[in-house]
Structure 1
Amino acid sequence: MHLQHDWENLNVLHKNRLPARSTFFSYKNKQEALTYDRGDSQGFLLLNGNWKFDYANSPMESPSDFYQADYSTDHWADITVPSHWQLNGYGKPHYTNVQYPFPVEPPYIPSENPTGSYSRTFYVTKEALQGKVHLMFEGVDSSFHVWVNGYFTGYSQGSRLQSEFDITHFVREGENRISVRVYQWAESSYIEDQDMWWLSGIFRDVYIFSKPDVHICDLFLNGTLEPGYQDGRLNFEIALSGVYQDHSVEIEIQQEGTVVALHKQGAVEETVTGSIHLDQVKSWNAETPFLYDVVVTLLNPEGEVVEVIPHKCGFRTVEIKGGQLLVNGVAIMFKGVNRHDAHPDYGRAVPLRSMMEDLVLMKQHNINAIRTAHYPNDPRFYDLCDQFGFYVIDEADLECHGLTKIGQPHVLSNDPAWEHAYLDRMERLVERDKNHPSIIMWSLGNESGFGQNHVSMYEWAKRRDPSRLVHYEGETREILLEDHFIPTKDPVATDVHTSMYTPIEKLKVIGGLTYLNKPHILCEYAHAMGNGPGGFKEYWETFYAYDRLQGGFVWEWVDHGLRQFTEEGKEYLAYGGDFGETPHDGNFVIDGLVRPDREPSPALAEFKKVIEPVVTSDFNDMENTILVQNRFDFSDLSTLQCEWFIEADGQILAGGMVDVPAIPANTAKVVDLPIHLPTVVKVNTDYWLNLVWKTKEKTRWADSGHTVAWSQYELPISRFAQIETPYLGQLTVQDKASTTKIAGPAFELTFNKQNGRIEDFCFDGQLVMSKGPLLHFWRAPIDNDLLGSEEFNASSVTKRWKEFGVHAIQHRIIGTDVTISEDLQSVVIQCEAKLAPPVLAWGFHVAYLYTIHANGRIVVEIKGVKTGEGPQYLPRIGVEMVVEDTYDYVQWYGLGPNEAYSDSRQASKMSIWSSTVDHLHTPYVFPQENGNRHQTKWASFTEESGKGLFISGSTFDFTASYYTVEQLEAAKHTCDLFKQPYITLHVDQQQYGLGSASCGQEVQEQYRLENKNFEFTFSMLPYDENSHSPIALSKKFISVIDKAKNVSKSEII
């Protein structure tokens, strides 16, 4: 006979838990109430801090009577609440994405069920005991029993939801004791299978508070707009507890401290309902998140204040019309992200300051929407979203993705025995968060198949709160699978079509379907794992091209790495498998736009650029006009100022302000530019017009002068000319069977005929380059190369490349010819080679042509002719060189300052940039190809004395690193990387794009690098910066392509 414990009994979700309600605090008067400081509310006592803790491998092994008053916990360890016990040395963190880490036998869970017992004392004043005393847990993973002063208080589950208990009869004046037993696993774990670490314990706030005997036990404040979207209406529902007869409720609405409405109503029912009309209300939206103060006062029969409850309220309307989602009558664009609770030191016990940091970063990067993937967040998080201005999809704590591993994705969602558990999570979500204007959609959960239990959740949510929409991707997924990605019907249990990682071409088809009545959003797309994603630009061009497509939510905001240290004290960020746990899903948890320490990745800058709210086009260089498009949904451009400046050679030549009218949202206007072109145009110089849009005033999330958008145009005023080359001196050449040694007035080098490579390239007696250019086709695989998502028809390109031996290509030198010019001004070395991998016959027949001039300049021309049947695409085409480690100061003219690739380059602009080799490196948690600079015209590498190496070409990509490709590929963490005593320099004609194939779309066709014949030319020159700057050198060695370009046509970057 199986003993059914509370933690694996579907009939016992809770014991003694009070009904779910909205989050608010009770105060004695309005003055205290309007501080919104919960610490000043009635009887509030925060129980965070130091608790005593005991860890056991199972409930049976945990102390059975530890909650008794005479049980001593002095020998127990200390633990901080909130926290996870795995991050305090008990058990170990465990990461899985889909699969369950235990046998799949719902509702049963393993007998070895790690259990944490908590205990602490607290003190209650006599004043706090005048009415009701309640105990609140805001988050306990996964289920728990609680005792107060030895009395059983209750049981609850639902890790990311509040559990409230009435402890009035258990507490006493003075010292009290609370005891909690927490179980790592419960039957609820089957529906808490989200893509994240399994972490246990009391991880959110715990507190007690008091209420008068007659009190407000819940309130629902729904600020909406009347038809016409000008006037507002506050619908209220106030639930009372106790002997409320003859009491009354007063509702006051304040606008920035001024009372704009006052309503008083007698408490003749247990629930007081009504509405208040406001003329010309200031509406709430994510751009102008105006909040009113609603002060609810409960008065006794004598008219005396019993309690005062404050709440922020925003007036806004959410609806669907004409197949579009409208906020306040406007079709909005979701420029959103999925956000998990994640912190490198605290896991999901995220401090308030970290929540603030997230939201500030999001606003600074033009993000306007958040999906709380995949569970309700800390209640304070929604207060911040209301204030900062975000559209929120608030998601139920429900996912059973692991059932796909046994081929039964819908089994729990269709099982009536689980309906109560499903509904419980929806009810508690809605009741807790129903007063937040930022929440415009409820979500039924994530990746839980689809079934009748979802329908029940949807129907309950729409009955309880018809003012909001409901979201769930699972039903749309079923429709798309049934209809081969061309949906023939609207879903019934979600108010929007919503899908994940939908390829752009299929998204275009969906966007064009006019018979559907609901809008389409991507609840997940652009999987931001490692170096990537690529293709933001094309996604957003598609969103803007179709009315029914209304943006989406990038997966995801933050890497979930946990901070760890090697025995030598070197820091790294851990992911799945690093704690010895099995099964696990590796580094799939490292997939955010920001690193765990909130350092933005290059992808975040790319995302900011692509979703910027001001877009310019149609620059007319004859009339100095430009078309300015306002992509805000509500705001005109009066809050921004536009600066212009003309730049050449990294210097600003002229600048000023553009007089921009207050262009209304979602409209465009031609604007005059007061630009002044240079009166003197330097030869062989590019001139760039830059427009920068900045905030005029300080905001909650940025200082004045914060850049929100920018654009850049090349001005058609450049003049190109061949600069005469003076006498360079003569070369000396020692041509032998295996080597050719060449020396000029200030340089010398050796050409090794056996390997076809320049060696020991010296300038002024100082070694600059130990190994010269050699063709290189491999890159350290990025996550999007390594992983392939069969669900989205994306396979691992690394696997395909390795099957063809691209990583192992070898050189065979066929022959070398050396030709010396009669005037000894130059030497031409022609080297013929065959490049091919072992085992296979495909490869390239290659001709290297080196023209070496007396000043040390080397022009490198490489031609490759494809032979045999190789892979369809290549990782890169370029050369690898080894430069001395002291040449670590880098300047370049090209796109920057960010890392950039062909399908992720919108955030970079043309200028002269500088950095160090160290800072060119992007420290991805899982090391991989990084640091590429794209569309470069020249780059220089100098050491402290000014000696340098100058590289130029038409355009090229380059990376410079203290780590080799082999090191980056072999390393699993940043701590595995050790600097080499040299710089590995890659100069590439092109690299394969980034894409997001780790979970989603492969690299788009236009960004793939086809395996075909190629030609590639660049030059190298050693120099002394004390005599010639890189800019001066760039004028002398301008490329043939640059000289021939059409200078009458402007270009947009």
Structure 2
Amino acid sequence: MHRRFETTTTRQQRTLDGTWEFTTEPPNTDSMPEAFPADADTVPVPCAWNALPEYYDHHGPAWYRRTFSLPESESVRIRFLAVSHEATVYLDGEERVEHSGGYTPFEFVAEDLAAGEHELVVRAENGRSETTIPLPETDWFDYGGITREVVLETVPDVFVEGFDLQYDLGVSESGGGSEEDGGETARIRADVHVANLDDDAERTVAVTVGETTARETVTVPAGGETYGLEFDVPSVERWTLEEPTLHDVHVALEVDGEVVDDRRDRIGFRELAVDGRDILLNGDPVDLRGVNRHEDHPEWGPAQPLRIMREDLARIREAGMNCIRGSHYPNHPRFLDLCDEAGVLVIEEIPYWHFDAEDFAREDLLERGVTTLEEMISRDRHHPSVFAWSLTNECANEQEGVAEATERLAETARDADDSRLVTLASYNEWVDRGEDRCLAHCDFACVNGYYGWYTDERVSADQWTGFLERVKADHEMPVVVSEFGAGAVEGERTWERGKWSETYQTEFFETVLPVLLGDDELAGFTIWQFCDTRTSRDPMGRPKSKNNKGIVGEYRRPKAAYGTVKQLLSGSEPDTDADT
């Protein structure tokens, strides 16, 4: 399924994955076609159409169609985990929902559908403009399609629409706080959103965390209501990088003691804070050693199967890394499940890339970004691996309009979830754009720098030492170097260690990583990037039209730099097969 665990035990749930009819005709129209062409193609779902040879270069709208059957009249909830990039969904010829943004989920409920066959049609659009987030010409490919799962489930008239769990730690049953004294108690507040498609109804709201259950009997009005339950869960184990303990969460509606609807999730208990230059996890400084990861693969695009996610995470951990920056959009929730299980920290980001004040002022682009941020937080707030929300990347942070937009985004993130840290990625120091006016709204600074790559000079330790000293002088907060790296065409090796060779990429990390590892005031770093990725109409003239800065290739074959990074981070012996 779409998660690493069952999300319900009472609802009849299935994915609508598989073969859908597909057509790019009629082009450039917003109206649903009266009938699909008889010669319509078929494509798999989930899938990015630009990963298919026949639609490799298609940018614009496309239409999907499939049918599904119900054995009896039911109300159903249909949830799209992602459609790139703009979507309009029709059920039995009636428009049901529109959504903007290719990386966050959306859904609708169809009441009392008749037994029998029903038609689902989706218009997807991957074209970008000055009114989309992200803008055109981003440094990652603008894949189109239904790129993540579509889930259909039956729901009763009164059902759990969603829930948010918040908690406080540090209260011991015995007054001590150690495991020997009985462990910590988590004080839980569960806000349960109950929908009601009919008249007023009495239900018991039951929330179970671990082995502890709280109940409250309520009268749910037509339309629905949100109910808050507060209770203590004794003897919880904290989620740590070494012991990533997860607790099951079960939210149910009961009638006369019988569960009539439920939702399930998982949660890990941990605390986050900053102290001076340190990022604290459970009160202790954590040294972030990580990598940036795009959801990209030559055969799958962003619609990656579970085995690719597992392999990526295994190679990242094998290299001695404990942190991933999801670049530059929310990754699949199933990948976050894997990070929860493995004890790997994640920075999640929304796709504001290279925006300036004029962009933020254009046609509700700030409001649309606020919505995307809220959708990301709502989807992922229970993942213990996610420790920071990142608001923007490489925007014009010296401009007042960008600072005002950043303040609004930071307030939105903290209002929605005050248990995590807030950050953004700045490149003002590296490109000499002047004072960064946006990081003041963050808990820690992510800074990007490409000394030794986008310059004529070869990489040198002095460049990087000076860069870190300037950044730390400007920002009295934890600093994470969020992007740094060098491109290498896979298999290109030279005696001269020229640019675009694996030999120069190796030299780059041999030079830079010791500087970063040796700076005790640095909170951490995330290498750019894990694997080579496809780019959108590449304006930089890169070889093969790819961002070749991966330490592994597009098919995950390790470059020489992977062995260098692994050796420097984990102290392992270098892979002689990858040496030059």
- TM exceeding 0.5: yes
Match of 1:263 among 214, 231, 245: 214
Could you say if the C-alpha distance between residues 146 and 500 of structure 1 is closer, same or farther in structure 2, counting changes exceeding 3 Å? same
Write out aligned runs for 1:167-178 (5 A): 167-168=110-111, 171-178=113-120
Which string of whole-angstrom CA distances, capped at 9 and with x for unpartnered residues, describes residues 84-106 of structure 1? 22333445438xxxxxxxxxxxx
Q: Partner letter of residue 333 of structure 1?
A: D
Q: Is the 8 A contact 1:396 1:444 kept in 2?
A: yes
Aligned-residue offset at 1:547: 4.1
Alignment-derived partner of residue 88 in structure 1: 52
Q: 1:897 to 1:545 in 2, by over 3 A?
A: closer
1:56 aligned counterpart, secondary structure? coil
Q: Is the 8 A contact 1:134 1:167 kept in 2?
A: yes
Write out aligned runs for 1:504-519 (5 A).
504-510=464-470, 513=473, 516-519=475-478
Shift of 1:339: 0.5
* Alpha-carbon distance in 2 for matches of 1:554, 1:415: 33
1:37 corresponds in structure 2 to: 6
In 2 relative to 1, CA 133–461 (structure 1 residues): closer, same or farther, beyond 3 Å? same
Which residue identity lines up with residue 141 of structure 1 in the other structure?
Answer: S
Q: Distance in 2 between matches of 1:161 and 1:179?
A: 19
**Aligned counterparts of 1:72 and 1:539: Cα–Cα separation in 2:** 56
**Is 1:293 paired with 2:237?**
no
Mapping of residues 125-144 of structure 1, within 5 Å:
125-126=71-72, 129-130=73-74, 132-144=75-87
The CA distance in 1 between the partners of 2:419 and 2:549, in whole Å, is: 34
Displacement after TM superposition at 1:148 (Å): 1.0
Which of 352, 374, 381 matches 1:434? 381
Q: Which one of the candidate residues 607, 617, 626 is aligned to 2:565?
A: 607
Note if contact 2:206-2:213 (Cα within 8 Å) is conserved in structure 1. Answer: yes
Query: What are the equivalent positions in structure 2 for 1:515-526 lying under 5 Å apart?
Result: 516-526=475-485
Contact 1:398 1:425 in 2 (8 A): no
Map of 2:90 onto structure 1: 147
Q: Secondary structure, in 3 states, of the residue corresponding to 1:454?
A: helix
- Residue 277 (1) aligns with residue 232 (2): yes
CA-to-aligned-CA distance 1:467-486 (integer Å, 9 cap, x gap):
10111123865997435xxx
Per-residue Cα deviation, 1:428-471 (whole angstroms, up to 9, x for no partner):
11111111111000111323334122221111111111110111
Q: Aligned in 2, Cα 1:292/1:582: closer, same or farther, shift over 3 Å?
A: closer
**What is the deviation of 1:899?**
3.8
One-letter code aligned to 1:504: W
Q: How far off its partner does 1:158 sit?
A: 0.5
The reply to whether residue 182 of structure 1 matches residue 136 of structure 2 is no
1:347 paired residue number: 301
With over 3 angstroms needed to count, the CA separation of the structure-2 counterparts of 1:344 and 1:216, relative to structure 1, is same
Q: Which residue does the alignment assign to 2:160?
A: 216
Aligned residue number for residue 469 of structure 1: 421
Q: 1:354 to 1:210 in 2, by over 3 A?
A: same
Residue aligning to 1:1003:
none
Q: Secondary structure at the match of 2:213?
A: strand
**Using the alignment, how far apart are the partners of 2:438 and 2:98 within structure 1?**
40
Which structure features the higher share of helix residues? 2
Selected match of 1:454 from 406, 412, 416: 406
2:554 is the counterpart of 1:897: no
1:422–1:453 Cα contact (<8 Å) kept: no
The structure-2 alpha-carbon separation of the partners of 1:41 and 1:362, relative to structure 1 and needing over 3 Å to count, comes to: farther
Conserved? CA contact 2:142–2:536, under 8 Å: no
The residue correspondences of 1:546-557 to structure 2 (distance < 5 A) are 546-557=519-530
- What residue identity is the alignment partner of 1:93? D
Unaligned runs of 5+ in 2: 172-176, 451-462, 490-501
Q: Structure 2 vs 1, CA of residues 896 and 155 (structure 1 numbering), >3 Å: closer, same or farther?
A: closer
Per-residue CA deviations over 1:577-621 (Å, capped at 9, x if unaligned) read: 7xxx98965444222121122222221222122122xxxxxxxxx
Residues 500 and 522 of structure 1 are in contact (CA less than 8 Å); yes or no, is this contact kept in structure 2? yes
Aligned positions of 1:687-726 closer than 5 A: 709-710=571-572
Q: 1:124 to 1:476 in 2, by over 3 A?
A: farther
Mark the CA change 1:173 to 1:478 in structure 2 (over 3 Å): closer, same or farther.
farther
Question: Which amino acid is 2:335 matched to?
Answer: F
**C-alpha distance in 1 between matches for 2:438 and 2:7:** 44
CA gap of 1:84–1:274, structure 2 versus 1, over 3 A, is: same
Q: Kindly provide the CA deviation profile for residues 376-405 of structure 1, in whole angstroms up to 9, marking residues without a partner as x.
A: 111211111111111100111332x3x6xx
**Structure 1 portions without partners, runs of 5+:** 1-22, 26-34, 95-112, 404-408, 562-574, 613-708, 712-894, 901-931, 933-1053
Contact 1:512 1:546 in 2 (8 A): no
Instruction: Show the counterpart of 2:150.
Output: 206
1:310, distance to aligned residue in structure 2 (A):
2.1
1:511–1:547 contact (8 Å) kept in structure 2: no
Match of 2:271 among 304, 317, 323: 317
Distance 2:469 2:89 in 1: 54
Choose from 113, 120, 140 the match for 2:66. 120
What residue number does 2:392 align with?
445
Q: Cα 1:223–1:604, aligned 2, differ >3 Å: closer, same or farther? A: farther
Cα pair 1:556 1:592 within 8 Å, conserved: yes
In the alignment, which residue of structure 1 is the partner of 2:444?
496
* Count of residues paired in the alignment: 530
Structure 1 CA distance for aligned equivalents of residues 432 and 159 of structure 2: 50
With over 3 angstroms needed to count, the CA separation of the structure-2 counterparts of 1:449 and 1:582, relative to structure 1, is: closer
Deviations 1:913-940 (A, max 9, x none): xxxxxxxxxxxxxxxxxxx2xxxxxxxx
Equivalent residues of 1:87, 1:93 under 8 A apart: no
Q: Residue 334 of structure 2: SS of its match in structure 1?
A: helix
Higher relative contact order (CA 8 A, sep 6+): 2
Change (3 A) 1:72 1:495: closer
Letter in 1 for 2:411: E
* Larger Rg over CA atoms: 1
Change in CA separation of 1:268 and 1:442 when aligned onto 2, cut-off 3 Å: farther
Aligned equivalents of 1:552 and 1:593: distance in 2? 15
Question: Which residue of structure 1 aligns with residue 289 of structure 2?
Answer: 335
Distance 1:276 1:185, change over 3 A: same
Mapped contact 2:389–2:421 kept (Cα < 8 A): yes
Note closer, same or farther for the CA distance 1:477–1:434 as it changes in structure 2 (3 Å cut): farther
CA deviation string 1:415-435 (max 9, x = no partner)? 574221121111111111111
Q: Structure 1 residues 387 and 453, CA, compared in 2 at 3 Å: closer, same or farther?
A: same
Query: Post-superposition shift, 1:38?
Result: 5.2
Q: For residues 185 and 490 of structure 1, what CA distance do their matches in structure 2 show?
A: 29
Moved more, 327-336 or 83-92: 83-92
Share of identical aligned residues, percent? 24
Distance 1:167 1:268, change over 3 A: closer
Output one character per residue of 1:8-55: Cα deviation in whole Å (capped at 9) or x when no partner.
Answer: xxxxxxxxxxxxxxx999xxxxxxxxx933596613221111111111
1-structure distance, mates of 2:167, 2:510: 36
3-state SS of 2:299 partner: coil
Letter in 2 for 1:497: A
Task: Say if 2:2 and 2:334, in contact at 8 Å, map to a contact too.
Answer: no
TM-superposed CA distance for 1:557, in Å, is: 0.8
Specify the SS of the correspondent of 1:79.
strand
| TM-score for both structures, normalised by structure 1 | 0.47
2:74 aligned with 1:74, yes or no?
Answer: no
Q: 1:294 to 1:182 in 2, by over 3 A?
A: closer
CA distance in structure 2 between the partners assigned to 1:244 and 1:607 by the alignment: 61
Rounded Cα–Cα distance in structure 1 between residues aligned with 2:527 and 2:39: 48
State how far apart, in whole Å, the 2-side matches of 1:307 and 1:37 are. Answer: 14
Instruction: Give the corresponding residue for 2:318.
Output: 364
Tell me which residue corresponds to 1:249.
Answer: 205
Query: Taking structure 2 as the reference length, what is the TM-score of the superposition?
Result: 0.83
In structure 2, relative to structure 1, the CA distance for the partners of 1:539 and 1:40 (3 Å cut) is: same
Matches of 1:39 and 1:529 in 2, distance apart? 46
Shift of 1:506: 2.2
Q: Quote the Cα distance in structure 2 between the aligned partners of 1:609 and 1:232.
A: 41
Cα contact 1:343–1:560 (8 A) shared by 2: yes
Partner of 1:412: 359
